[in-house]
Structure 1
Amino acid sequence: MPRDPNIPDAFDVYTLVVLRRPAEVPQMSDEELDELQASHLAYRAELRRQGLLVVNGPFGEQSDTSYRGMSIFACDLAEAARLSDGDPSVVAGRLTYDVMEWWVAAGVLGFPQAGRPVGDRRSMPED
């Protein structure tokens, strides 16, 4: 059977982390929440300075408000999970996350501020 022409010959594979609000979160005062948010943002800014986190940000309108934000990491899934475990909002139980590979057609995304290539170039395995 010939190759499906709608499947790219190559993909860039990125490590994606989606932050979400768990069903049950610990209650905190407004002051505690403000401090936690500042720590969360500082932690992620430091990961970006270190070149481990390429891009991240919160979600706006969406169909499921438990989803809070998304990040693309410049490391494998295990390292992205380890780094996400260290996020103060995850430690505090206010956020959890899903980590996954995201396959996109090769060359369609660029990260000019990353300072190095992000992701791995791969071909779709043959059946």
Structure 2
Amino acid sequence: MSNNIDILELQMVSWTNYKSEAKARGALALELYAAVSTPAGEPEDVKANLPAHLAYQAELERSGNLAFAGPMSDESGDNMQGIGLIIYRAESFEEAISLAEGDPMHASGARSFVLRRWLINEGSLTLSVGLSTGHAVMG
């Protein structure tokens, strides 16, 4: 068991150092913040806070602080489990915490969250925007 612990300890590096190394090797190194939001109260509490939560999400989207948000399935991929993923754009981890705490779902205690930094290094995004229609498709 000590070998597993030793390996894990060796893999732990400071976030700042890792981000700098990623940039140096040519990775995007875009830092965002991922909140996994889970029900903490009764289902009625979640339903009661849904309109305010959606309004808050729309406000964050308009201000540029919300990158993505939405529900996640269970491990089978077949059922809704009530877990949500919210990706914030923020200047700091502390600002991202403040954004998550300001969500009416979290502020009311209907849901709780765990926040992590997320460094986007690789991948691709395709976006098609109809300039006259305002229609956008992301793939």
TM-score normalised by the chain length of structure 1: 0.62
Q: Match of 2:32?
A: 15
Q: Does 38-47 or 54-63 show the bigger shift?
A: 54-63
Query: What SS does structure 2 have at the residue aligned with 1:62?
Result: coil
The answer to whether structure 1 residue 56 and structure 2 residue 73 are counterparts is no
Q: Match of 1:104?
A: 120
The structure with more radius of gyration: 2
Query: What SS does structure 1 have at the residue aligned with 2:49?
Result: helix
Higher RCO, Cα 8 Å, sep 6+: 1
Measured on the aligned residues, the alpha-carbon RMSD in Å equals 3.1
Question: Quick one: which amino acid aligns to residue 96 of structure 1?
Answer: S
State the identity %.
25
Note the 1:49-88 alignment, pairs <5 A.
Answer: 49-62=62-75, 68-75=83-90, 76-88=92-104
CA distance in 2, matches of 1:42, 1:14: 25
Runs of 4+ residues deviating >6 angstroms:
none
Quote how far apart the aligned CAs of 1:59 are. 0.7
Structure 1, unpaired ranges of 5+: 1-6, 114-127
TM-score normalised by the chain length of structure 2: 0.57
Quote how far apart the aligned CAs of 1:52 are. 0.8
Quote how far apart the aligned CAs of 1:94 are. 1.5
Quote how far apart the aligned CAs of 1:66 are. 6.7
* Residue deviations 1:75-119 (CA, integer Å, cap 9, x gap): 12211110110111101111111221222334x244869xxxxxx
Quote how far apart the aligned CAs of 1:68 are. 1.3
Structure 2, unpaired ranges of 5+: 1-20, 129-139
Report the structure, 1 or 2, having the larger helix content. Answer: 2
Query: What SS does structure 2 have at the residue aligned with 1:21?
Result: strand
Q: How many residues align?
A: 101
* Residue deviations 1:32-53 (CA, integer Å, cap 9, x gap): 6433111111111110011111
